[in-house]
Amino acid sequence: MTFRNPQEKRRNMLQYSRKVMRELAKSEECKVKGKHQEALEIAQKILEKDPSCIAAAEEVADNLLSLNNHESAEKAARFVLILNPKSYIANYTLGFLSLTKGDDPVALPYLSVANNSEPNNPEILRCLGWSLFHTGSRTEGIATLERALNLRPDDSLILCDLGVCCLHLNYFEKTIRLFERALALDPKSTRAKECLEAAKNLKEKMMDDGA
């Protein structure tokens, strides 16, 4: 479109921005409802018209991650970082994907940036705490997981992650309480069941050895 004067250009850009914001709101609404494929398609259409729209690119990465399309989510997140290196969504995505590969040292810098950009996000803190613990900063890792749990006390994933870390430190009583809480929230959790049993067995063994 050819603009006849700067004022007309600004008016049209404002209308376009409002349209994009409406589409982004639709994408977010779909995502919240768990309609990730629909949310993804809306964000992708925005990007087709404006490849520099960071918010749309973040939505693409976020929804691809929720759809377990890890390879595409990583590509989308790396694209976002070109536009905005401090994007918490992109950094969280890359940090989370590194954790799924067992690469805690690679995950840590991404998750640290995500936490700095979006403090007090329970999911970011959960992953950051796990990464800190498994890269040698055990006290800080436990404290970070505790912060995540304080923010979201009914999250079985946080309870399990904190429970595993406490089990590594032989905090049996605390570990058992955490996994019992996790099972109360998610009775079908195989991880919580197995870890709870392991904690009880190890506690009993250590008591027998000390007797």
In this structure, the answer to whether residues 124 and 201 fall within a common structural domain is no
Stretch (H or E) spanning 176: helix 172-185
Mean pLDDT of the chain: 89
In this structure, the answer to whether residues 182 and 93 fall within a common structural domain is no
| Amino acid identity at 72 | S
Question: Residue 163: which CATH number?
Answer: 1.25.40
How do residues 122-178 score in pLDDT, each as one tens digit?
Answer: 999 999 999 999 999 999 999 999 999 999 999 999 999 999 999 999 999 999 999
Rounded CA separation 147/143 (Å): 6
In this structure, the answer to whether residues 117 and 138 fall within a common structural domain is yes
Question: Residue 105: which CATH number?
Answer: 1.25.40.10
152: Cβ contacts below 8 Å, ≥ 6 apart? 122, 158
The mean pLDDT value for 109-131 works out to: 96
How do residues 2-25 score in pLDDT, each as one tens digit?
Answer: 334 444 334 333 444 788 888 988
In this structure, the answer to whether residues 142 and 192 fall within a common structural domain is no
In this structure, the answer to whether residues 128 and 48 fall within a common structural domain is yes
Query: Last residue of a domain, which of 125, 152, 179?
Result: 152
In this structure, the answer to whether residues 178 and 97 fall within a common structural domain is no
Q: How many domains does the chain have?
A: 2
Q: Is residue 24 part of a domain?
A: no
* Residue numbers of the domain that contains 202: 156-211
Q: How far is CA 121 from CA 11, 104, 126, 204, 208, in A?
A: 36, 19, 9, 37, 42
